[in-house]
Amino acid sequence: MTMDALHRTGGVPPGWRLTPPPGDVENGRRLFVDFGCSSCHAVKGEPFAAKAGAQGVGPELTGMGSHHPPEYFVESILNPDAVVVDGPGYVGPDGRSVMPAYPEMELGQLADLVAYLQSLTAGGMQHVLASVASTPAEVPAPPPVEASCFIVQAYDVNPGDLHAFETWFKDEGAARFFAYDGLLSIETWVDVAHDGPSMVTAFGFRDDAALARFVDDPALDQLARAFDAFAGPHGHQVVRQPPIYRAATLSADRPGAPAR
Ligand code: HEC
């Protein structure tokens, strides 16, 4: 096409779309906080949504992923004025969206943010299924357990939240989780012997189908996010064997000690 024609269609060929490369949901979730998106956009169930407070204004993005293709998210971020959603205070005195530009954002970060926005579907924990841990090299066999796959998260409890977390889990959280038929175990370990998060919680499921239904169920998604609200930002992984266990072949009790 001629340069003139190209200019007449807005500088891009008709129907031209920018499809972002696949991004990393968990990193996008971190960037959503780092770039300050969460100060204007609430996402139900996310811990940062609860803490956003009264900073900026912007539409809630809960469940967004089901409503738009990735190109829409790319454009919303790169060019907030392309489509200006109506809402109180969304437009400044200059008639432009109050959403800022992010000139320092890199392409990879954009892709990660878009991946995160896309993961915000009704059963918003779908992204958990994307991070399946690879089978470890050579490790002693795990003990026989009923659960065949686990959602695992390593985290530190938000400062000052431990007591409330323990109380919530004991009084309410555990029972609500176990109301779900395919969930067989919830176990938390504390490991203080290395840098990084000291707690690991594993949710054990009967099979892949049970795990898939769990992450797709909006009610359980909310419950999982209530749990997560006590922990700082962290990722989730799926593993196919207990994530932590005592290796029987390399553990020993002093002869005569009570058996365990
Ligand atoms: C200062 C507040 C503010 C910040 C910070 C902000 N936004 Fe927005 N955002 C808005 C407003 C207001 C709108 C609605 C007007 C518009 O469409 O531009 C919007 C619209 C959007 C939309 C389209 C929503 C819809 O319903 O179609 C997306 C997606 C979005 N923002 C993502 C982001 C992301 C990702 C970031 C961080 C990189 C971010 N925003 C940072 C205020 C903000």
Cα 85 from Cα 77, distance rounded (Å): 13
Nearest CA to ligand 1 atom 13: 58
Q: Computed from CA positions of residues 29, 63, 168, 244, in that sequence, does the dihedral angle turn out positive or negative?
A: negative
Cα 149 from Cα 163, distance rounded (Å): 29
> 29 C-alpha to center of ligand 1: Å?
15
Which of 41, 73, 97 should be mutated for ligand 1, with most atoms under 8 A from CB? 41
List pLDDT tens digits, range 21-59.
888 888 898 999 999 998 898 887 676 754 445 468 888
Percent of the chain residues past pLDDT 70, beyond the cut? 89
Question: What's the pLDDT at 130?
Answer: 55
The CB of 58 under 6 Å from ligand 1? The reply is yes
> 90 C-alpha to center of ligand 1: Å?
9
> 226 C-alpha to center of ligand 1: Å?
24
> 87 C-alpha to center of ligand 1: Å?
11
Q: Return the structure tokens found at 85.
A: 């959603």
Q: Return the structure tokens found at 67.
A: 């409503």
Whether the CB-CB separation of 38 and 46 falls below 8 Å is answered with yes
Cα 247 from Cα 244, distance rounded (Å): 9
Distance of CA 150 to the CA centre of its chain: 16
Judge whether residue 92 has pLDDT over 50: yes
Which ligand 1 atom is at minimum distance from the Cα of 85? Answer: 17
Nearest CA to ligand 1 atom 32: 77
Whether the CB-CB separation of 31 and 112 falls below 8 Å is answered with yes
Nearest CA to ligand 1 atom 23: 76
CA nearest 180: which of 125, 142, 235? 125
